[in-house]
C-alpha cells in the first residue's frame, strides 16, 4: 500500500488524497451496508415481541440510570480490576470518536479540524492518554481471561460456556484500532501534518521511532495507517453486529428501557386471568420465543456473556444445571433459529433471515406453525434448568446491562404450569394447599392464632374494621403463624411492639397466603386469586399501615398488590424495630457479649434494598459484635427457599442452604441471624444437619433484640 501510494504521489501530487478518499469511502459504504442490514433485521426481531408500555414511563429515572450505569459504569465497578479496565475502554472510545472524525476529515483534507473544537492541546492529550489506557486495559483483559480460562477451571470460570474465540478476536480488533491510530498519528509528526504539540505524548514518542525513515516514507505510512485504521474500524463494526459484542450498541438501549428505579423489581403480570376475558388464543407466559415481550427479546441480544450472573447464581454455585448466562444464550439462539417464523407476521412474509437465523423447528411459517414448533421447555431450556431458579435476583443485581433473567424464567414457568400443566410433582401439594386452605402447609386458618396463646397480653384480632387506636396491622404470614420455629420470632416481634407501646392487631383466620410461592412457581392464576381476596380483606378492614415479618409477604403486598388495586403502606419488622430504637421507644440495655453474623434475605435485601436497618438494630444492642459473611448485602447468597424451592426436592448438587450455612459457620459467630422466617427455617435445618445446634444459635433479629430488653 505504501509503494502504491508513493507511485501515485510521484505521478500526481493530488493522487494520494484522491486514492485514500476513494478507498476509505468504499470500505465505509460496504461496511455500513452490511452492518445496517443486520441491525435492521435485529430491530425487526425485537419489535416482533409483545407490547411492553411500562418501559416508556418515568423518564427521569431512566436518564439517571443511563448516566450511572452506562456512562458511569457503576455496575462494572463491582469487580474492581476488570471494571476499571472496562471503564477505561468505554470512556476511551468515547474520546476516540474524535479521532474517527479526524480520520475521515483527513480523507478529504490534511488540514481538517473538527468545527468549534479544533486542535486544542487538551484534546490531543486525551486522545493519546486514552489510546494508551485502552492498550493497558486490553492487557488486563488478556490476563483475566487466561487466569479464568474455562478449559482450565470448567464450571468455576465465569466464562464457562461463553464464546471465548469471539472475545479474543475482539481484543485483537480493538488493539488494531489503537495501533493503527497511533501509527497514523506518529507518522504525521514526521511529515509536519500532525496538528498537536507534545501534549500528544504517545504520538510524538512513537514518531521518534519512525523519524529515521524520512519524510516520503512517513508520508506513505500516514496513508497506509489511515486506511488501515478506517478499515479496521469498519470491519469491527460489522463483526460487532454479528457477535455477542452487539451489547456495545444494545446495552445503552437495554439499560434505559429496563424496569425502574431498578432492573430488579415486581414481576410483570400476564394477560388478565379473568376467565370471561380468556379466549382459546390466549397464551399465559412464554412457551415459544415470540411469547416474550419486546424488552425480553432485547435482553437476549444484549447479553455480553461476561458470566457475572453465572458467578453469583446460587443454583450454579451448588452444582445445579441453571446458569443465567447460558439460559439467556440458549434463548438467543432460539430467537435466531425461529426468526423466519417470528418475522413471518410481517408484511414481507418473513424475509429477514440473514444467515444467522437458520431453518429451526417450525420456522418459515406464520402463527399457525407455532403450534408445531417445540416449546421452549424442554426443547431449548431443560426442565431441571427452569425449576432450579430461586428467583433470588442475584443475576439481575449483578448484570452490568440490566438483563431481567427472573422475568423470563417465571414467564416460562407460567406457560408450563398454566398452559401445559407441567411442573415438579411435589409442588402440586403446596399449590393445592394454598388454594384449599390458604397456606402452603394446608393447616388452615384455625391455626393462625395459635402463636398468641403463650403471650401474657391479648393480641386484638380484627373481626370487622381496624379500631382507630391501632397503628399497625401485623401481617404475620404463613410461616410466622404456622411453623414452630418461625412462631418464636413472631412472638418476639409481638412482645417487642407491646413493650414499645405500639398498638397493633392481626387478621387471624382472615389472613391468607399472599400467593408469593404460587407466583414464583408460575401459577399466576392462583396468585391473582389470593391477591384479590387479600386486597378485599385489607380494604374491608380499613388497613392503612401494615407491618410484615416475612420479606416475601412484604414484597408482595408493597410492590405487587398495587397492580391489582391494593395500595397500602407496608413496613418490614426490621425497619419498624430500628425506627423504635432511634425514637427512643426501645432502649436495649442488657449486654449480650456475643458475635452475630447477619444473613440478608433476598427479598428484603436485593429486592427491597433493606440492608442498613437490620445492621443498625444489631449495632444498638450492647455487647453484640457483628461479623459479615464474605457474601453479604447486595451479594448475599440465597438460603435456598425462594422461587417456591421451599416445597421442591433438591436432589442435584449441594443443597443451597448447606452452602450458605457453611459460609455462616466459617465466620465463627455465636449466632446466625436473619429477618425472614423462611431463611430462619432453612439455615436452622442446615445447622442441625452440621450438628452445630449446641454451638450456634439461629435467631431472628427480634429475638436478639428481645434478649437485650429482658428485665425492663
Q: State the cell numbers at 553.
A: 409477604
One-letter-per-residue 3-state SS of 686-705: HHHHCCCCCCCEEEEHHHHH
**Which has the closest alpha carbon to 517: 648, 642, 395?**
642
Q: State the cell numbers at 29.
A: 459504504
Place of cell 378485599: 536
User: Could you tell me where the beta strands, DSSP code E, fall in 561-682?
Assistant: 569-572, 594-598, 624-626, 671-674
Polymer length of the chain: 712
The pair phi, psi for residue 224, each rounded to 5°, is -65, -50
The three-state secondary structure class of 672 is: strand
d(CA 567, CA 49): 30
The three-state secondary structure class of 19 is: helix
d(CA 205, CA 208): 6
Residue 625, strand partner residues: 595
The pair phi, psi for residue 374, each rounded to 5°, is -60, 145
Beta carbons of 557 and 475 less than 8 angstroms apart: yes
d(CA 285, CA 16): 61
Half-sphere exposure of 17 (CA within 13 A, CB side): 11
Please tell me the predicted confidence (pLDDT) of residue 371.
61
Beta carbons of 452 and 459 less than 8 angstroms apart: yes
Half-sphere exposure of 637 (CA within 13 A, CB side): 24
Omega before 378 cis (within 30°)? Answer: yes
Mean pLDDT by 10 residues, the chain (712 residues): 43 59 94 96 94 85 91 90 92 94 90 90 95 95 84 77 87 95 93 90 93 88 93 95 90 92 85 73 92 96 94 96 97 95 64 36 47 89 97 96 96 96 94 96 95 95 94 97 96 97 96 97 95 96 96 97 94 97 93 96 97 97 96 96 94 96 97 98 97 96 94 66
d(CA 421, CA 141): 46
Beta carbons of 652 and 624 less than 8 angstroms apart: no
- The CA-atom distances, in angstroms, between 55 and each of 37, 51, 52, 257, 556 are 26, 10, 6, 5, 21
Q: 432: Cβ–Cβ under 8 A, 6 or more apart, which residues?
A: 442
Instruction: Determine the distance from the C-alpha atom of residue 17 to the mean position of all C-alpha atoms in its chain, rounded to a whole number.
Output: 49
CB neighbour class for 501 (10 Å; exposed up to 12, middle 13-18, buried from 19): exposed
d(CA 682, CA 662): 12
d(CA 161, CA 477): 41
Q: State the cell numbers at 404.
A: 431481567
Please tell me the predicted confidence (pLDDT) of residue 399.
95
Residue 547, strand partner residues: 474, 571
Q: State the cell numbers at 665.
A: 459457620
Please tell me the predicted confidence (pLDDT) of residue 518.
97
d(CA 425, CA 309): 29
This prediction has a pTM of 0.90
Question: Dihedral of CA 477/483/485/490: which sign?
Answer: positive
**Which has the closest alpha carbon to 387: 399, 378, 397?**
378
The three-state secondary structure class of 302 is: helix
Q: 23: Cβ–Cβ under 8 A, 6 or more apart, which residues?
A: 227
- The CA-atom distances, in angstroms, between 1 and each of 174, 183, 219, 221, 226 are 22, 15, 12, 9, 11
CB neighbour class for 163 (10 Å; exposed up to 12, middle 13-18, buried from 19): middle
- The CA-atom distances, in angstroms, between 642 and each of 387, 540, 676 are 11, 30, 11
d(CA 581, CA 604): 20
d(CA 292, CA 308): 24
d(CA 294, CA 292): 7
Please tell me the predicted confidence (pLDDT) of residue 448.
96
35-82: pLDDT as tens digits: 999 999 999 999 999 998 878 888 998 999 999 999 999 998 888 898
Please tell me the predicted confidence (pLDDT) of residue 286.
95
Amino acid at each position: 500500500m505504501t509503494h502504491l501510494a508513493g507511485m501515485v504521489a510521484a505521478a500526481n501530487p493530488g493522487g494520494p488524497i484522491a486514492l485514500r478518499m476513494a478507498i476509505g469511502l468504499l470500505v465505509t459504504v460496504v461496511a455500513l451496508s452490511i452492518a445496517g442490514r443486520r441491525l435492521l433485521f435485529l430491530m425487526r426481531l425485537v419489535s416482533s415481541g409483545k407490547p411492553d408500555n411500562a418501559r416508556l414511563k418515568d423518564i427521569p429515572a431512566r436518564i439517571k440510570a443511563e448516566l450511572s450505569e452506562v456512562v458511569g459504569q457503576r455496575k462494572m465497578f463491582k469487580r474492581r480490576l476488570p471494571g476499571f479496565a472496562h471503564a477505561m475502554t468505554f470512556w476511551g472510545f468515547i474520546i476516540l470518536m474524535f479521532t474517527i472524525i479526524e480520520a475521515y476529515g483527513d480523507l478529504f483534507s490534511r488540514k481538517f479540524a473538527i468545527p468549534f473544537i479544533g486542535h486544542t492541546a487538551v484534546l490531543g492529550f486525551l486522545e493519546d492518554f486514552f489510546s494508551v489506557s485502552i492498550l493497558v486495559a486490553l492487557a488486563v483483559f488478556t490476563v483475566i481471561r487466561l487466569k479464568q480460562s474455562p478449559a482450565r477451571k470448567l464450571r468455576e470460570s465465569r466464562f464457562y460456556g461463553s464464546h471465548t474465540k469471539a472475545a479474543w478476536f475482539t481484543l485483537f480488533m480493538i488493539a488494531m484500532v489503537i495501533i493503527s491510530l497511533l501509527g497514523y498519528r506518529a507518522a504525521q509528526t514526521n511529515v509536519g501534518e500532525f496538528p498537536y504539540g507534545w501534549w500528544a505524548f504517545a504520538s510524538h514518542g512513537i514518531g521518534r521511532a519512525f523519524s529515521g525513515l524520512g519524510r516520503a516514507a512517513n508520508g506513505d505510512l500516514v496513508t497506509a495507517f489511515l486506511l488501515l485504521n478506517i478499515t479496521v474500524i469498519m470491519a469491527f463494526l460489522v463483526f460487532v453486529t454479528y457477535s455477542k459484542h452487539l451489547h456495545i450498541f444494545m446495552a445503552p438501549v437495554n439499560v434505559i428501557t429496563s424496569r425502574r428505579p431498578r432492573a430488579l423489581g415486581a414481576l410483570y403480570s400476564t394477560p388478565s386471568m379473568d376467565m370471561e376475558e380468556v379466549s382459546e388464543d390466549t397464551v399465559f407466559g412464554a412457551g415459544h420465543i415470540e411469547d416474550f415481550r419486546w424488552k425480553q427479546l432485547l435482553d437476549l441480544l444484549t447479553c455480553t456473556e461476561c458470566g457475572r450472573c453465572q458467578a453469583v447464581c446460587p443454583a450454579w454455585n451448588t452444582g445445579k444445571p441453571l446458569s443465567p448466562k447460558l439460559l439467556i444464550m440458549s434463548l438467543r439462539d432460539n430467537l435466531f433459529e425461529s426468526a423466519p417464523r417470528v418475522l413471518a407476521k410481517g408484511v414481507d412474509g418473513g424475509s429477514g433471515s440473514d444467515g444467522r437465523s437458520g431453518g429451526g423447528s417450525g420456522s418459515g411459517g406464520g402463527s399457525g406453525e407455532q403450534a408445531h414448533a417445540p416449546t421452549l421447555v424442554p426443547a431449548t431450556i431443560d426442565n431441571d434448568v427452569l425449576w432450579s431458579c430461586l428467583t433470588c435476583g442475584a443475576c439481575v443485581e449483578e448484570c452490568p446491562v440490566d438483563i431481567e433473567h427472573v422475568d423470563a424464567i417465571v414467564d416460562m414457568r407460567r406457560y408450563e404450569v398454566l398452559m401445559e400443566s407441567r411442573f415438579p410433582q411435589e409442588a402440586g401439594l403446596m399449590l393445592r394447599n394454598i388454594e384449599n386452605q390458604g397456606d402452603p402447609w394446608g393447616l388452615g386458618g384455625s391455626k393462625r392464632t395459635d402463636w398468641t396463646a403463650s403471650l401474657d397480653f391479648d393480641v386484638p384480632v380484627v373481626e370487622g374494621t381496624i379500631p382507630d387506636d391501632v397503628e399497625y396491622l401485623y401481617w404475620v404470614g404463613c410461616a410466622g403463624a404456622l411453623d414452630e420455629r418461625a412462631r418464636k420470632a413472631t412472638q418476639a416481634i409481638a412482645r417487642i411492639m407491646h413493650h414499645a407501646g405500639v398498638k397493633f392487631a392481626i387478621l387471624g383466620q382472615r389472613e391468607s397466603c399472599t400467593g408469593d410461592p404460587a407466583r414464583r412457581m408460575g401459577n399466576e392464576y392462583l396468585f391473582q386469586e389470593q391477591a384479590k381476596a387479600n386486597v378485599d380483606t385489607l380494604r374491608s378492614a380499613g388497613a392503612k399501615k401494615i407491618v410484615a415479618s416475612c420479606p416475601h409477604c412484604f414484597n408482595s403486598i408493597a410492590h405487587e398488590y398495587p397492580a391489582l388495586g391494593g395500595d397500602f403502606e407496608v413496613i418490614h419488622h426490621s425497619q419498624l424495630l430500628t425506627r423504635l430504637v432511634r425514637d427512643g421507644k426501645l432502649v436495649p440495655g442488657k449486654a449480650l457479649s456475643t458475635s452475630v453474623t447477619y444473613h440478608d434475605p433476598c427479598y428484603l435485601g436485593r429486592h427491597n434494598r433493606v440492608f442498613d436497618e437490620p445492621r443498625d438494630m444489631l449495632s444498638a444492642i450492647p455487647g453484640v459484635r457483628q461479623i459479615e459473611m464474605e457474601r453479604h448485602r447486595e451479594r448475599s447468597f440465597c438460603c435456598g427457599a425462594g422461587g417456591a424451592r421451599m416445597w421442591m426436592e433438591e436432589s442435584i448438587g449441594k443443597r443451597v442452604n448447606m452452602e450458605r450455612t457453611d459460609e455462616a459457620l466459617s465466620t465463627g459467630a455465636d449466632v446466625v441471624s436473619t429477618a425472614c422466617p423462611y431463611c430462619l427455617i432453612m439455615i436452622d435445618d442446615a445447622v442441625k444437619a452440621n450438628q452445630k445446634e449446641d454451638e450456634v444459635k439461629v435467631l431472628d433479629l427480634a429475638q436478639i433484640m428481645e434478649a437485650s430488653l429482658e428485665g425492663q
